[in-house]
Amino acid sequence: MSDATTAAGEAQSQPFTAEVARLLHLMVHSVYSNRDIFLRELISNAADACERLRLMALKQPVLLGSDPAFRITISVDAAAKLLTIEDNGVGMDRAALVENLGTIARSGTRAFLDAAGDKVSGTALIGQFGVGFYSAFMVADEVEVFSRPAGSDEAWRWVSDGKGSFSIGPVDLSAAPARGTRVVLHLSGEGATYTDPDTIERIVGEHSAHVPVPIVLRVDDTTTRSLADGSALWRKPKASIEKKAYAEFYNHVSGQYDEPALTLHFRAEGRHEYAALLFVPSAKPFDLFDPERKSRIKLYVRRVYITDEAKILPAWLRFVRGVIDSEDLPLNLSREMLQSNPVLTQIGKGVTTRLLAELDKLSRDDPDTYLKVWEAFGPVLKEGLYEEPERRDALFGLARFHTSTSGDGWRSLADYVAAMKPNQSAIYYAVGESRETIAASPHLEGFRKRGVEVVLLADAVDAFWVRTAIGFEGKSFQSITQGNADLSAIPAEGDAPKAEDAAAPKAAVATLAARIKQALGDRVTAVRGSDRLTDSPVCLVAPESGPDRQFERFLSAHQASGKRQAPVLELNPGHRLIKALIERATAGDGEVVDDAAFVLLGQARIMDGEQPDDAPDFARRLTRLLEARLG
C-alpha cells in the first residue's frame, strides 16, 4: 500500500454497490483463462480520459497547462510487484471516483447479472457494461488509484482489495500525477508475470496498438520503450493495414471478443468529407435490446473525439461498432446540435447506404458468414422495415426467413417469389410466437396440401412491419390468418381425395354456417366454409379489415388497444364432424348443433393458443355432447 499521506481529513471507507460486489466475484473467479485483457481495459480507460480532455481543451486551453501532448505511461517494478498505468487526461475528483469505480451506471447491468448468476464467463462481461476497470482484480491483490482533475488543486486516492469495500480520501499533490489518473496494481503471486517488460509489450501490441494516444513503457529510470504511436487507424490507407490490425482495433472500439463479420473502411469526399471504419460483429452485444436502442459509434472531428452518443446511424443499425471522423463538423458541437445537425444527418444517410450495400455484397459473396449476421441481428434489421419505408427495398434484399418448406434453412424473398405456384398472386405469411407454434397451426393445412410456401414470422417486430409492407417485386403480402385464403385456383398436390373425404355441398355448408352464426351471435363476425383447412374441423381468422389476430393479441397484451374485434369462424367442408353437423341441422337437431357451435369456437381458440370465452360453459356443452354420443 502507498505511504502517501492525506492533505486534509481522513480517508473514508464505503462498500461497493451490490452489482459491483457480484461483478468482482465473477471477475476474480471466472476470467483467469484470459487475464491479459485487464491491461487492454485499463489502457482503454486511460485513452478515453485523454480524448475527453482533448475535447474540453478546445474551449478551455488552460486545462492543458504546459503539457499539451497526451500520453499513456506504463511502469513496471518487479521487486515490488507493481504495475502502474498513468495518463495525463481529464482526471477525476472524489465524486467521479465514487461514481466510476464504486458503482455501475450502465443500464441493464442488474438485470444481466441476475440472469447470469455465477455461471457466466467473466470474459463476456469485460467491456460490455463499462466494467473493464474491475478486471484489474484478476491479477492484483490491491488496486490504488491516484487522480487529479485537470485544472484542479486537489488530488484524491482510491484504494480497494476488491473484497467488498473501497476507501477514498484526499492526497498530497506530490503523490498524485500533475494531471490525470495513475492506477497502481499491487500484483498477486500469479499476476507477478505482468512486471516483465516483454510481456507488457506483447499484450499492448496484440490488444492496444491502435488506441489514439501514444503509449510508452518505462522499464526503469533510464529506459523507455514506445509501444504505440497514437496514430488513427481509420486515417491510414486500407492497403497498409493488415487484417489482424483491424481485428485488434475492433476489439478496442467495441469491447467485444468475437471476430467482426464485416469490416468497412472508406473515406468519403465531395459534399461532405469524412473517414469511417465500421464493423459488423458476428455475435450479439449484451445491450442489443436495451430499451434506449443507442448507437455505439464513436464520433470524431478532425481526430478530436467528440462523443459516442451521437445518433449517427438509425436505431436498427445499433449493433454496428466503429468510428466516424468528420472534416466538416464544428468542434464545439453541443448535445442539441448533435441532434439536429444537417451535416451529421447527411453523413448518417451516406454511411447507412454504404453499410446496406456492403451487407448485400456479403450475402452474395459469403452466404455462410452473412447468415451468421442475420441470425444475430435479423430482428434488429427488420425494425428498419417498419421505421424507414424508404429503405425497405434494400432491407427486403437482405432479409432472410424460415418458411413452411425450408426446415431449418433460410430463404430470401427472391427465393420465395421464384418458387411461387402457378396462379399464386401473393406472398403468404403467418405471424406467431415461435416457428414451432406457427408450423402447428391449422391455417397452414390447405397451403401444405397445395405445396404453397408460407413465410413464418416469429420475431416480435414482424407483426408491425408486415402490416405496412406494400409488397415485393409486385407481389403483395397476405396473412394466412386474415381474410379469405383464395386457394381455389391452386390445385392440390398428390392423389385425388377419396369419396368419403369429398367436401360437403357449398349450399349445405352455407346453411350450417348460418345456423352456427345465429347460435354464436356477436362472438364471431361471420361463419363460412374454408379452403385453407384439410385436417382440422375449424379455425379462426381475422376479418379483411382491421389487424391480424397475432398483432391484435400483441396490442391487447400491451394494453394498446380497446375491445378486440370478433373473428371469423371457418368450417372445413370435408371434415367428418362438419358433415355430421350438417346432417343434424338438416334433421332439426338444433340443441346439438348449438352445443357443437360453442365447442367448435372454443376448440378453435385453443388451437390459436387462447382459452375459450367462457370455460365453464364450454365444459358443460362438451359434456352434453359426449353424453349424447357415449350415453
What is the secondary structure of 107-146 as a DSSP string? TTHHHHHHHHTTTS-HHHHTTTSS-GGGGGGGTEEEEEEE
What grid cell was written down for 318? Answer: 445499433
Q: Looking at residues 183-197, what average pLDDT do you find? A: 95
Q: 107 pLDDT exceeds 60? A: no
pLDDT reading at 126 higher than 50: no
Residue 498 has a pLDDT of: 59
Mean residue pLDDT across the chain: 87
Task: Name the DSSP class of 294.
Answer: -
Q: Which residue has the higher pLDDT, 221 or 83?
A: 83
Whether residue 36 has pLDDT greater than 60 = yes
- pLDDT for the residue numbered 553: 77
Higher pLDDT, 484 or 65: 65
CA-closest candidate to residue 300, choices 272, 321, 280, 323:
323
pLDDT at residue 1 is higher than 50: no
More confident residue, 377 or 330: 377
Amino acid 500: pLDDT: 57
Written as one letter, the residue type at 278 is L
Q: What is the mean pLDDT of residues 508-518?
A: 95
Distance between CA atoms of residues 603 and 612, nearest Å: 7
Report how far residue 538's alpha carbon sits from residue 145's, in angstroms, rounded to the nearest whole number: 71
Set of cell numbers at residue 293? 436502442
Q: Are 158 and 122 in contact (CB under 8 A)?
A: no
Write the CATH number of the domain with boundaries 12-231. Answer: 3.30.565.10
Among the residue ranges 33-47, 281-295, 339-353, 484-498, the one predicted with the least confidence is: 484-498
Question: Above 70 in pLDDT, residue 489?
Answer: yes
Decide: 272 and 343 in contact? Cβ < 8 Å.
Answer: yes
Among 445, 451, 449, 399, residue whose Cα is nearest residue 420: 451
CA distance 327 to 299: 11
Q: Mean pLDDT over residues 446-470, rounded?
A: 93
Give, to the nearest 10 degrees, the angle between helix 18-30 and helix 109-116.
50
What dotted CATH number matches 500-630? 1.20.120.790
* 76 close to 196: Cβ distance less than 8 angstroms: yes
User: Would you say residue 110 has pLDDT above 60?
Assistant: no
Q: Report the pLDDT averaged over residues 460-486.
A: 90
pLDDT (average), residues 86-109: 79
Q: Write down the pLDDT at residue 208.
A: 83
Q: What percent of the chain has pLDDT over 90?
A: 62
Ranges for all domains in the chain classified under CATH 1.20.120.790? 500-630
Q: Is the model's pLDDT at 336 over the cut of 60?
A: yes
Closest CA to 575 of 497, 628, 493, 494: 497
**Which one has a higher pLDDT value, 322 or 1?**
322
Query: CA 631 to CA 628: how far, in whole Å?
Result: 6
Q: What is the model's pLDDT at position 95?
A: 93
Where in the chain do CATH 3.30.230.80 domains reside? Answer: 234-370
Sequence ranges of the chain with CATH classification 3.30.565.10: 12-231
Contacts 24+ apart (CB under 8 A), 488-491: 488/531, 489/423, 490/421, 490/422, 490/423, 490/424, 490/450, 490/452, 491/450
The pLDDT, as a whole number, for residue 34 is 67
Q: How confident is the model at residue 567 (pLDDT cuts 50, 70, 90)?
A: very high
What pLDDT is stored for residue 99 in this prediction? 86
Taking the CB of residue 58, how many other CB atoms lie within 10 A of it? 14
Q: What is the rounded radius of gyration, in angstroms, for the C-alpha atoms of the chain?
A: 33
Predicted confidence (pLDDT) at residue 323 exceeds the cutoff of 70: yes
More confident residue, 257 or 181: 181
Instruction: Please indicate whether residue 171 or residue 287 has the higher confidence score (pLDDT).
Output: 171
Residue 148 confidence (pLDDT) above 80 = yes
> Which one, of 375, 373, 361, 326, lies nearest residue 346 by Cα?
326
Q: What is the pTM (predicted TM-score) of this model?
A: 0.77
Q: What is the pLDDT of residue 119?
A: 46
Q: Is 486 exposed, middle or buried (0-12, 13-18, 19+ CB in 10 A)?
A: middle
Which pLDDT does position 9 carry in this prediction? Answer: 58
At 363-384, the pLDDT tens digits run: 999 999 999 999 999 999 999 9
Number of separate helices (H) and strands (E) present in the chain? 21, 21
Give phi and psi for 467, each to the nearest 5.
-70, -25
Low-confidence winner among 142-146, 533-537, 548-552 (lowest mean pLDDT): 548-552
Asked if residue 207 has pLDDT above 70, the reply is yes
pLDDT in tens, 495-509: 555 555 678 899 999
The mean pLDDT of 382-405, rounded to a whole number, is 96
Residue 290 · residue 107 · CB < 8 Å = yes
The reported pLDDT for the residue numbered 2 is: 47
User: Roughly what angle, to the nearest 10 degrees, separates helices 243-254 and 37-59?
Assistant: 70
Check residues 117 and 575 and name the one with the higher pLDDT. Answer: 575
User: Which of 292-296, 328-332, 555-559, 608-612 reaches the highest mean pLDDT?
Assistant: 608-612
Sequential DSSP letters for 554-580: HHHHTT-SSSPPP-EEEE-TTSHHHHH
Evaluate if residue 121 carries a pLDDT over 50: no
> What mean pLDDT comes out for the span 588-616?
92
User: Which residue would you say has higher pLDDT here, 334 or 168?
Assistant: 168
Counting every residue, how long is the chain? Answer: 631
pLDDT over threshold 80, residue 27: no
Q: Which residues lie across from 160 on neighbouring strands? A: 143
Enter the DSSP assignment of 475.
B
Give pLDDT, residue 127. Answer: 42
What element of type H or E holds 623? Answer: helix 615-630
Determine the residue type at 4.
A
Q: What pLDDT is attached to residue 94?
A: 95
**Per CATH, domain 234-370 is 2.30.30.90:** no
- State the CB neighbour count (10 A cutoff) for residue 180: 27
In the structure, what pLDDT confidence band is assigned to residue 162 with cuts at 50, 70 and 90?
Answer: confident
The pLDDT assigned to 7 comes to: 44
Does residue 120 have a pLDDT over 50?
Answer: no
